[in-house]
Each structure stands twice: as structure tokens, then as C-alpha cells.
Amino acid sequence: MIHPSAIIHPNAQIGSDCSIGPYCVIGEKVILGDRCRLHSHVVVDGDTIFGSENEIFPFASIGLKTQDLKWNGGVTRTRIGNSNTFRESVTINSATGDGETTIVGSNNSLLAYSHVAHNVVLGNHVIMSNVATLAGHVTVEDYAVIGGLAAVHQFCRIGTLAIVGGCSKVVQDVPPYMLADGNPAATRTINKVGLERNGVSETAQAALKQAYKILFREGLTVSKALDRIERELPQLPELTHLVGFSRATERGLSK
């Protein structure tokens, strides 16, 4: 299961039933969980731990030193969950500061040339299309979709079940359950297709549509809009999360 041309440091830990293809390079502190598959020409280095059943396609580079010019050495980490797919030339950088970690959850699909920078926290069931780019300290919640060639600014957050349109420039937070698009990205409507595909009830979808109108179409401040949502709309889990996410914003919401 390990091609003879692969270079694996003797201290690396390789789980059972892993497949490591031609010309892969695996560093000293790497741990691969069971049944991971590295196709060929994959580089995994740094203090990097994978869970099980991850599939990594040619020319991906995972766990190497951050590109952040503030890097001053120390121990930085990369942690990857289970059952992720990393397509060709995906890059995932380690964190910047000593003791810090870049985190990728489970069941994500990162398409060719997508980039996850230092200190990113990527949730579960996220799709990043081709050449989608996350700058440092970005947080992406579960089931979000980031379109091809989209770029997300440092410290921004992408909420649960949000979708970012292709070629968008995201400079502020994208709220959960919403669709954002443009340069700079603005929140256009609810992510109706994503909500339907993931079994969100019609009642919740209707409430989210009303919340979108209050938050983005009534000309209210964010604080006043959120107060009105809490006062007038049903206290559904989706609305509770939308309100909590929006109250916690530091960069503002994509309007």
C-alpha cells in the first residue's frame, strides 16, 4: 500500500490500510489515521494529525509553515478530521503563533487549488469550490459552501448553511443560512436551495426569510434589527443561531 518512491520519515505514524502513492513526502511529526489515501506527489509535513479515511489528490500540500510574515517560530499545528476530500493542489497551512492550530473538521470537500490559511477553523460538511481562498483566522461553520474563485478576508466568519457566490470578495461576516455574492459580497437572500437540501422545515425557512428582510431591507441598525427579530419572530433554533452569530460579529455583516 506504500509506493517505493514515497519518502516517509521513520518517526511518522501511519495508520492501518493507508495507501500512499508515488512520490509522496510525509514528515517526521505527521500522524495519518486509518484508511487514508494519498494518490501521488502529496506533501504532508509539520505537526499534523489526520483522522481516518481522508483522500488527498496529487500535488496537495498540507501542514507546512504558515505564509504569514508574523511567524516567529515555535510549535504550530494542523489538525484534520475524518472523511475529507482534498483535490489537486489544495494547500492547508499550519498556524502562525506558538501553540496555535489550524483546524479542519470532517466530511469536507475542498476542490482543486483551494487554500486554507493559518489559524482557520473549518467546520464539517463544508464545500470549497475550485480556487476558493480563506485568509488567516477565518471561521467557516458547518455545511457552508464557498464558490469558485471566492476570497474571504482575514478574521471573517461564514455561517452555517451559508453560500458564497463564485468570484465574490468577502470582507465582512456572512450570516448563517444566507446567500452572499458580489465584490464586495452582499447578502442577497436566504440560501433556499441549501436549506431545502438539508431538511430545514418550511416554517423555519419562512421565518428566516422574514429575518432577512428585517436585518437587510428595513434600514435598521444591526442591533435594532436583531431586537425586532427576537421580539416578532418565533424562537426557532435557526433564528437563535442567526441572532447569536450576528450579535457576535466584529467585522460587521455583509450588507
Q: Are 90 and 78 in contact (CB under 8 A)?
A: no
Cβ neighbors of 197 (< 8 A, separation 6 or more) are: none
Domains 7-137 and 196-247 share a fold: no
Q: Are 46 and 29 in contact (CB under 8 A)?
A: yes
What is the dotted CATH code of the domain comprising 7-137?
2.160.10.10
Q: Would you list the domain boundaries of the chain?
A: 7-137, 196-247
Predicted confidence at residue 247, as pLDDT, reads 98
90-115 pLDDT, tens digit each: 999 999 999 999 999 999 999 999 99
Predicted confidence at residue 124, as pLDDT, reads 98
Low-confidence ranges of the chain (pLDDT < 50): none
Q: Is the bond preceding 184 in cis, omega lying within 30 degrees of 0? A: yes
35-81 pLDDT, tens digit each: 999 999 999 999 999 999 999 999 999 999 999 999 999 999 999 99
What is the dotted CATH code of the domain comprising 196-247?
1.20.1180.10
Please give the model's pTM, rounded to 2 decimal places. Answer: 0.97
Q: How far apart are CA 242 and CA 226, in angstroms?
A: 9
